Amino acid sequence: MTDYAVGDIQGCYSNLRYLLDKVGFDPDHDTLWAVGDLVNRGPESLETLRYLKSLKKHCIAVLGNHDLHLLAVAHGVRRTKHLDTIDTILVAKDRDELLDWLRHRPLIHYDKSLKTLMVHAGIPPIWDLDDTRKRAKELETILQGNQYGEFLENMYGNKPRRWSDKLKGWKRLRMITNYFTRMRLCQADGTLDLDMKVSIKASGNDYAPWFQQPSRLPSELNVIFGHWAALEGKTDMKHIHALDTGCVWGNHLTLMKLTNHQRFNVDCGC
């Protein structure tokens, strides 16, 4: 059995299947980790969701911002945007089953034996591993429960910009959501800059990529994330693995073997 992690698929199903065939992925024995943003912008979002769902326990996927956007649109609290490619999901005969599967995905995945943590965007420097797991569970409970729709209505926004244990209600859950699914730059105290979307350079006032700030995570922990195509898969840090290599923008889709961090990629033309 082999565990692989794949970067942001974003509906580029054909590229995903080509890459999995390239490494001889066996859906009955191997496991595919997906860093989120499973859908949107690529041409085959419906096919992507159906395939990942069909893998059952052999797929471990975390939620990204595009996945949450799909859930919000499907629930009627957001409209589709100009570049969205999720309409095929919204009118599919198995729409409800796919959306239910999606909203039951976690925000993070931690594997103690592999010393590996997966998240879509990042982990704020103020949280240790225990904090991270508790905050993820807090949000997952709401997403998978009766307050699901109300959460989606209150999910959007850039404030608050910094975590406090005193935060309550939707502000608290929005902060957790923004850390796990939207974060790129932050300060050492966890204050977010959510305006920067392309440049990897700091925007002043002690902002830096979240993984360059002093971390409270175990030093030997491998962190896998996506979300930030501008990094081109590079962090220059031994235990921090960026896997979004811009497939949907015509660059590459990247797959990484978790035992030795060997990478495989395929050129994309979504």
Does the pLDDT at position 158 exceed 80? yes
Q: Are 182 and 202 in contact (CB under 8 A)?
A: no
Q: pTM here? A: 0.96
Whether the CB-CB separation of 268 and 15 falls below 8 Å is answered with yes
Q: How confident is the model at residue 241 (pLDDT cuts 50, 70, 90)?
A: very high
Q: Amino acid letter at 237?
A: M
From 254, 267, 269, select the one nearest 32 (Cα to Cα). Answer: 254
pLDDT score of 54 more than 90? yes
Cα–Cα distance measured from residue 163 to residue 191, given in angstroms and rounded to the nearest whole number: 7
- CATH number of the CATH domain containing 68: 3.60.21.10
Coil, strand or helix at 241: strand
* Res. 202: pLDDT tops 60: no
Query: CA 184, CA 180: separation in Å to the nearest integer?
Result: 10
**Joined tokens for residue 120:** 């879509």
| Count of domains forming the chain | 1
The domain containing residue 49 runs over which residues? 3-267
Query: Quick check: 265 and 242 in contact, CB under 8 A?
Result: no
Per-residue pLDDT, 195: 83
pLDDT at 199 over 80: no
How many angstroms from the chain centroid is the CA of residue 120?
Answer: 2
Whether the Cβ atoms of residue 162 and residue 194 lie closer than 8 Å to each other: no
- 32 pLDDT more than 60: yes
- Is a pLDDT exceeding 70 seen at residue 259? yes
Specify the residue for token string 């066996």. 26
> What confidence tier does 67 reach under pLDDT thresholds 50, 70, 90?
very high
Residue 26 backbone zone (phi > 0: left; psi -120 to 50: alpha; other: beta): beta
Adjacency order of strands within the sheet including 116-119: 108-111, 116-119, 222-225, 240-242
Mean pLDDT calculated for residue range 100-118: 98
